[in-house]
Amino acid sequence: MKKATIPPLAALTGAPADRMAQLKARLADAAARGGHAAPALVAVSKTFGADAIRPLLAAGHRLFGENRVQEAATKWPALMADHRHVELHLVGQLQSNKALEAVQLFDAIHSIDRLSLVRAVAASIDRTGRSPTLFVQVNLGAEPQKGGVAPDGLVALLDACQGAGLRISGLMTVPPADREPAPYFALLADMGRRHGLAQLSMGMSADHDIAASLGATHVRIGSALFGGRAVMDAKK
């Protein structure tokens, strides 16, 4: 099914804090339509500096996402020193050699997707005593440029996580950009149910309401809050 081109966020206006309030209302509505609780809104601040982030912190928002360890490590310690109880999620791909730094900095990692990373994250958790919430990313569209375990590799990866002592809380996906997202979100929800994984990280600016109506527990929203990004990410 090709994607319908309805710009769902045309109605969002105003300062970042106002857009946040409108988004939260939209998410609550969409979730209720599907019989679900409203998902947590992860404000994805990648490529945006402290000036863009501070208004959301000032408005009381505390849940943020970044897609690169290095960028987050330069931006967030200062912001966290000024604002307590920030929860920082890594939503982008993670290299094994950055696992230790990621486990130290982030409260959740959405991109566990291969055995080498499972081992590196398990070792980092043992070493630091920290316990970030972990999602396994599933590459439902089998897109070579995207992270995520192939659907037919999910069971083996979950087994490996268990073997390594890693507690996985949920699944994450980024559906193919040119496709109708609903079937992918429904499939991820189904996989979560089958494996007893209650958390579902799915939905971005363009499809957050669809994801919420299909049971997302975390939506990851960047451009709808912060505006367009100058540089597109090569990998998601």
Please report how close the Cβ of residue 204 comes to ligand PLP at its closest, in angstroms: 4
Q: What DSSP character marks residue 158?
A: H
Q: Which is nearer to ligand PLP, 124 or 205 (CB)?
A: 205
Site of interaction with ligand PLP (CB under 6 A): 44, 46, 67, 91-92, 174, 204-205, 220-224, 233, 236
Nearest approach, Cβ of residue 135 and ligand PLP (Å)? 11
Q: DSSP assignment of 77-145, as one string? A: HHHHHHSTT-EEEE-S---GGGHHHHHHH-SEEEEE-SHHHHHHHHHHHHHH----EEEEEB-TT--TT
Pick between residue 87 and residue 164 the one whose CB is nearest to ligand PLP: 87
Question: Nearest approach, Cβ of 126 to ligand PLP (angstroms)?
Answer: 27
Least distance (Å) between residue 172 CB and ligand PLP: 8
Minimum Å gap between C-beta 191 and ligand PLP is 18
Q: Among residues 124 and 226, whose Cβ is nearest to ligand PLP?
A: 226
Nearer to ligand PLP, 139 or 205 (CB): 205
Bridge partners, residue 109, by sequence: 90, 134
Q: How far apart are CA 106 and CA 86, in angstroms?
A: 10
Nearest residue (CB) to ligand PLP, 81 versus 232: 232
| Chain centroid, CA 216 distance in Å | 11
Residue with smallest beta-carbon separation from ligand PLP: 222
Question: At a CB cut-off of 8 Å and minimum separation 6, what does 57 contact?
Answer: 79, 82, 83, 86
User: Which residues are 112's β-sheet partners?
Assistant: 136
